[in-house]
Amino acid sequence: MSFLQSKGWDDFLALCQGAESKAILNELCDLLFTLEEKQQLALRVELVKELLHGEKTQREISRDLNISIAKITRGSNALKTASDQLKMFIKNC
């Protein structure tokens, strides 16, 4: 069984979906993630949004977010597999 098919991952998604408020979701993330993990997730969100907006080059994103070109490439490659619906959802958030 792969990681993404595990019961733990399904449970995590259910917990996130069931959070009744942003405060509860934030508290859940405080419980489950270290500060470094939350920072990395936040950075990944910023990276994906920058890539979707398409207004900056990868070098500009690298400089502005202080991340490597390799991380940007991984984010870009991940976006290639994302549905148009998900991309629009992220753009609109």
Whole-number percent of the chain with pLDDT over 90: 89
**Is pLDDT at 2 greater than 70 in this prediction?**
no
Apex 21 CA angle, 20 and 23, nearest 5: 135
pLDDT digits (tens, 9 = 90+) for 14-58: 999 999 999 999 999 999 999 999 999 999 999 999 999 999 999
DSSP labels, the chain: --GGGSHHHHHHHHHHHH-SSHHHHHHHHHHHS-HHHHHHHHHHHHHHHHHHH--S-HHHHHHHHT--HHHHHHHHHHHTTS-HHHHHHHHH-
Buried-state track 41-73, b at ≥16 Cβ within 10 A, e below 16: eeebeebbebbbeeeeeeeebbeebebeeebbe
**Is pLDDT at 1 greater than 60 in this prediction?**
no
Please give the pLDDT value at position 26. 97
The band of 7, judged by pLDDT with boundaries at 50, 70 and 90, is confident
Please give the pLDDT value at position 5. 65
